[in-house]
Amino acid sequence: MRLTLPIAVFLLSFFVNSPTHAQGLVDGFMRGQRKASLAVSYSQESYDSYYTGKTEIRNPNLGTVFTQSLNLYGTYGLGYDLDLIVSAPYVRTEASAGYWQKQEGFQDLSAALRWEAFDYKIGSARLSWLFAVGYSLPLQNYVIDAPVAIGHGSRNLDGRTLLHFKSGAFFLTGQLGYIRRGQVTLDRVVNYYDPDNLNPNSSSTVNVPDVIDAVIRGGVATKHFYIDGWVQQQRPYNKGTDIAPGIPFPTNAIGFTRTGISVYLPLIKKFGLNGGYSTTLNGQNSGKATRLSGGIVIGI
């Protein structure tokens, strides 16, 4: 039996020069034909240490970096086996020390199609094989080469496959994806070293490294509550660069391992509350951030 609770699990993760990443934009639960849900979530996260390469450091000239975000997340069942997912966050980021100006604004608009290609019945359990393709683009021009940047500023193509197992209330989902990131244009000409080339470059257009993303999520989903635990690992596919002392750059190779929990509690029919917690276990050119989030979910 397909779960039809309006669950919207969309914990956004943070790293130094792109504070939000929708690790839960695509999960293993199909929405259902002509069924929709809308979620509004607020999150707050912070870090006072970050990784230059894979070395953790603290920078007194940066202090603690705080990020707040308000995210709109919607799903709609185009068919029994095809969903449309859309997300758009408004982000505010600031540092407690140094001269960095606070940055805020709409970040990126993300949209994805999720297709359940196969659905196997194994006794009383079910195993689903899903595919998803997504695309994101900046909603405005924002600073992309500062510790308080609200995003990469690149256009991204995201493709992934998922295996979703459900037996009774228990479920387990694994997904593997590849994110192709486009070039970004700075507001000035810069000299930088591209490890994929032998010579230094002088240009206002630079490459943002692609990444490979994997997420494992398991938990319990019933009509009365939902809870899960997850682990996400992201690794740069291209060589990329490391953060210079205190100065991130779009060519930085970003990676991390994060873990967290998500909960959903229905209050009345088609309305409920969700929340989550996540923390960074290790990273590469990323902030060692801890995040709390909460919001409302409305089913239509």
Mean pLDDT per segment of 10 residues, for the chain of length 300 residues? 42 34 70 92 95 93 94 94 95 92 94 96 95 95 88 94 96 96 79 55 78 96 93 92 80 94 92 95 95 93
Residues with Cβ < 8 Å from 2, sequence gap 6 or more? 30, 32
Ordered domains of the chain (ranges, CATH):
12-299 (2.40.160.40)
Q: pLDDT for 106-128, tens place per residue?
A: 999 999 999 999 999 999 999 99
Cβ–Cβ contacts within 10 Å for residue 9, how many?
24
pTM reported for the whole predicted model: 0.87
Q: Where are the beta strands (DSSP E) in the chain?
A: 12-15, 18-22, 36-47, 50-52, 55-57, 65-79, 82-95, 103-106, 108-122, 125-138, 156-167, 170-181, 183-192, 201-207, 211-221, 226-236, 255-268, 271-284, 290-299
Q: pLDDT for 128-181, tens place per residue?
A: 999 999 999 999 999 888 889 999 899 999 999 999 999 999 999 999 999 999
